[in-house]
Structure 1
Amino acid sequence: MSFKIAIIGAGSVGFTKKLFTDILCVPEFKGIEFALTDVSEHNLQMIKAILDRIVEANKLPTKVTATTDRRKALEGARYVISCVRVGGLEAYADDIRIPLKYGIDQCVGDTICAGGILYGQRNIPVILDFCKDIRDVAETDAKFLNYANPMAMNTWAAIEYGKVDTVGLCHGVQHGAEQIAEVLGAKSPRELDYVCSGINHQTWFIELRLNGREIGKDELVAAFEAHPVYSRQEKLRIDVLKRFGVYSTESNGHLSEYLPWYRKRPDEITRWIDMSDWIHGETGGYLRYSTETRNWFETEYPQFLEAASKPIDPSKRSNEHASHILEALETNRVYRGHFNVKNDGVITNLPQDAIVESPGFVDRFGINMAAGITLPEACAATCISSINVQRMSVHAAISGDIDLLKLAVLHDPLVGAVSTPEEVWQMVDEMVVAQAAWLPQFAHAVPAAKERLSKSRVKTREWAGAAWRSVRSIEELRAEKAALKQAG
């Protein structure tokens, strides 16, 4: 087969490499073209060197090009994959740092909550630029695969305003299923059959069968509480399972910031999180992890390049959806997965305009969603709270309406549990001013926001959160990896 895949934000080096090797595990795809594009020439050249090494080591006819000219990369592309982080770690640091001044303690801050909403404001104008380029220069009816967060907002904007055939992709469902299979004693995750549905990062395992036997709430709770690791790392998720009756896909730390109950007071935060890894609830955990990962890659780049000389092993193909979707569309080998799409009847008790994450099947006719799923009432209520925030956030990003943006932040469940309206209004002004370089739609509102900030009497505090850890040095990371290698 011969077709072109464009990857926007290809400077996300580790993830781009994973997508690349996954796709080349499909025998029919050896001769396709990958066009890489990114705003960072430095990162772009690093990832191109790695992918070129993979092509050379495996003696493949695959073509790899790299350019900072996005439209050139998109010319003639049949598939466009986005994994961009608009504003990079600089803007992301503000997503965590500024809300902390107002008492809002986030673990990740990339989906909703104060950080996720501002992340969406930075992303959506860029997403619409991508969509225009796709309509202009890509193959007719090209498919846009969005991996970038905030998943629901980005996908909503691309479908509703970008008018491009878009699907949002995440790996939370797969990871949650692997956990469940493990605690139930399955020899392989394939023994677990499930229906998982909701919205991105708030998806719920509403049906579970292990080797055909139905698994109920009590058995699942007992299995998690008996597990020597998850009983400690997933305390909040287990509590939600007990109260809601179903398990959530999202990690302990991430789930905690979508709800108004667990991160509202510092003493409550420390009660529900675990500090063995960032993903279990650490303040700004993903920011620290991302910073350390970037620093590690920059320092250890020669090792990454050397590792690229190894043969591709199809048995190690990941469970990321992209390669499996492309394989199904191009070869008609049917794939079942969980996809982010416009609701339109997929889930009966969520708004029809929302972006939902739910089961679907892919073949040469496209992505076909299983329709008519009804969530348990508590799951639907929790999802709807986030959907209302997402809708206002998308509309604010499109219109540049700073008052609507403030209302969206005010209605966020965790923000509302922590902050007053006056605090929210000032916090949003501060975030918009700090991130003005990536928020062109709010340029008209920045002078007035600065003026309000100069006169504000709302008190803030210098606070690192309930569970902050500093970024570790390369030497500390090396020592930790050496210790893990010796122990393992």
Structure 2
Amino acid sequence: MSFKIAIIGAGSVGFTKKLFTDILCVQEFQDVEFALTDMSEHNLQMIKQILDTIVASNKLPTKVTATTNRREALTGARYIISCVRVGGLEAYADDIRIPLKYGIDQCVGDTICAGGILYGQRNIPVILDFCKDIREVAEPGAKFLNYANPMAMNTWAAIEYGKVDTVGLCHGVQHGAEQIAEVLGAKSPSELDYICSGINHQTWFVDLKLNGRKIGKDELVAAFEAHPVFSQQEKLRIDVLKRFGVYSTESNGHLSEYLPWYRKRPDEITKWIDMSDWIHGETGGYLRHSTETRNWFETEFPQFLESAAKPIDRSKRSNEHASHILEALETGRVYRGHFNVKNNGVITNLPSDAIIESPGFVDRFGINMVSGITIPEACAATCMASINVQRMSVHAAISGDIDLLKLAVLHDPLVGAVATPEEVWQMVDEMVVAQARWLPQYADAVPAAKERLAKSTVKTREWAGAARRNVRSIDELRAEKAALKQAV
């Protein structure tokens, strides 16, 4: 088979390499063309060197091109994959730093909460530019696979306003299932059959069977509490399981910032999180991890290039959805996964216009969702709070209405648990002014926001958060890696 796959934001080097290798694990896909595009010529050249090395060492006919000209990369593409972060780590740092001044402590800040909402404001105008290019120069009927957060907002905008065939893809469901399989003593995650449904990062394992035997709440709680690692790393997640009766897909750190109950009092945050890794609740944890990862990659690039010369091992194909979706669409081999699409009645007790994450099957006829799923009322209520924020955030990003943006942030569960309306209004002004270069839709609102900030009497504080770790140097990372290797 011969067709073109464009990857936007291909400078996300590690993730692009994984997607590329996964796709080449499909025997029929050896002849495809990969068109890489990114704003960073430097990152593009690094990833192209790695992918060219993979192609050469495996003696494949695969073609790899790289260009900063997005339309050129998208021309004739049948599939477009996006993994962009608009504003990079610079804007992301403000997503974490500014809300902390108002007492809002986030672990990740890329889905909802103050950081996730502003991230969406930066991404959505760019997503619509992608969609315009796809409509104009890609292969007719091209499919847009969005991996970028905030998943629901980006996918909502691409479908509703971009008018492009779009599916949002995440790996939270797979990771949650792997955890459940482990605590239940399964030999392989394949022994676990499950239905997981909700919205991205708030998806719920509403039905679980291990080797055909139904698993109930009490057994699952007991299994997690008995696990020597997860019992400490997932304390908040286990508490939600006890109260809601179902397990959430998302990590302790992610889930903590989507709810109004666990991160609102600084002196109680450490009770619910674990500092063994960023994903378990550390303040600004993913920002630190992303910064360290970028620095590490820049320094250790020769080693990454050397590892790319190894033969592709098809047995190590990852569980990222992209390659499996392409394989199903092109070959007809059926794939079952969990996909982010417009609801349209798939989940009976969530709004029709919402972007939901739920089971579906892929074959030659496309992505076919399993409809008629009803999630537990508490799960639906939690999802609804986020959906209402997402809807307002998308509409604000499209219209450039700063007042609607403030209302979206005000209605965020964690923000509302911590900050007053007056604080929210000032915080949004401050974030919009700080990120103005990535927010063209708010250009007319920035001068007035600056004036309000100059006259403001709302008090803020410089606060690192309840559980912050410093960014580690390359030498520290290298020493820790060596120590772990020696311990093993």
Equivalent position SS for 1:263: coil
- Deviation, structure 1 residue 369: 0.1
Which residue type is aligned with residue 463 of structure 1? W
Alpha-carbon displacement from aligned partner over 1:151-198 (angstroms, at most 9, x marks no partner): 000000000000000000000000000000000000000000000000
Q: Distance in 2 between matches of 1:375 and 1:184?
A: 23
Q: CA RMSD in A?
A: 0.3
The answer for the alignment partner of 1:361 in structure 2 is: 361
- Deviation, structure 1 residue 76: 0.2
Q: Distance in 1 between matches of 2:204 and 2:486?
A: 38
Equivalent position SS for 2:34: strand
Alpha-carbon displacement from aligned partner over 1:249-303 (angstroms, at most 9, x marks no partner): 0000000000000000112211000000000000000000000000000011111
The answer for the alignment partner of 2:75 in structure 1 is: 75
After TM superposition, the score normalised by the length of structure 1 is: 1.00
Which residue type is aligned with residue 381 of structure 2? A
Equivalent position SS for 1:126: helix
The answer for the alignment partner of 2:128 in structure 1 is: 128
The answer for the alignment partner of 1:439 in structure 2 is: 439
Q: Distance in 2 between matches of 1:57 and 1:263?
A: 49
Pairing 1:251-400 to 2, within 5 Å after superposition: 251-400=251-400
Equivalent position SS for 1:193: strand
Which residue type is aligned with residue 134 of structure 1? I
The answer for the alignment partner of 1:86 in structure 2 is: 86
Q: Report the number of matched residues.
A: 488
Q: Distance in 2 between matches of 1:120 and 1:443?
A: 16
Pairing 1:205-244 to 2, within 5 Å after superposition: 205-244=205-244
Q: Does 1:200 align with 2:200?
A: yes
- Deviation, structure 1 residue 399: 0.1
Which residue type is aligned with residue 112 of structure 1? I
Alpha-carbon displacement from aligned partner over 1:197-254 (angstroms, at most 9, x marks no partner): 0000000000000000000000000000000000000000000000000000000000
Q: Does 1:10 align with 2:10?
A: yes
Equivalent position SS for 2:405: helix
Q: Distance in 2 between matches of 1:311 and 1:453?
A: 57
- Deviation, structure 1 residue 383: 0.1
Pairing 1:461-472 to 2, within 5 Å after superposition: 461-472=461-472
What are structure 1's unaligned runs of at least 5 residues? none
Alpha-carbon displacement from aligned partner over 1:99-140 (angstroms, at most 9, x marks no partner): 000000000000000000000000000000000000000000
The answer for the alignment partner of 1:173 in structure 2 is: 173
Pairing 1:414-453 to 2, within 5 Å after superposition: 414-453=414-453
Q: Distance in 1 between matches of 2:60 and 2:345?
A: 43
Q: Distance in 2 between matches of 1:251 and 1:483?
A: 26
Equivalent position SS for 1:129: helix
Q: Distance in 1 between matches of 2:384 and 2:175?
A: 23
Q: Distance in 1 between matches of 2:369 and 2:324?
A: 16
What are structure 2's unaligned runs of at least 5 residues? none
The answer for the alignment partner of 1:34 in structure 2 is: 34
Equivalent position SS for 2:258: coil
Q: Distance in 1 between matches of 2:483 and 2:431?
A: 40
Q: Distance in 1 between matches of 2:57 and 2:291?
A: 30
Pairing 1:49-198 to 2, within 5 Å after superposition: 49-198=49-198
Which residue type is aligned with residue 36 of structure 1? L
Pairing 1:465-480 to 2, within 5 Å after superposition: 465-480=465-480
Q: Distance in 2 between matches of 1:399 and 1:107?
A: 29
Equivalent position SS for 1:121: helix
Equivalent position SS for 1:247: coil
Q: Distance in 1 between matches of 2:22 and 2:118?
A: 32
Q: Distance in 1 between matches of 2:483 and 2:416?
A: 43
Q: Distance in 2 between matches of 1:258 and 1:220?
A: 22
The answer for the alignment partner of 1:404 in structure 2 is: 404
Which residue type is aligned with residue 102 of structure 1? Y
Deviation beyond 2 Å, 4+ runs, structure 1: none
Q: Distance in 2 between matches of 1:222 and 1:51?
A: 45
Which residue type is aligned with residue 75 of structure 1? T
Q: Distance in 2 between matches of 1:268 and 1:148?
A: 31
Q: Distance in 2 between matches of 1:295 and 1:174?
A: 28
Q: Distance in 2 between matches of 1:98 and 1:297?
A: 28
Q: Distance in 1 between matches of 2:3 and 2:265?
A: 53
Alpha-carbon displacement from aligned partner over 1:333-353 (angstroms, at most 9, x marks no partner): 000000000000100000100
Q: Distance in 2 between matches of 1:486 and 1:62?
A: 38
Q: Distance in 1 between matches of 2:272 and 2:441?
A: 38
Q: Distance in 1 between matches of 2:332 and 2:296?
A: 40
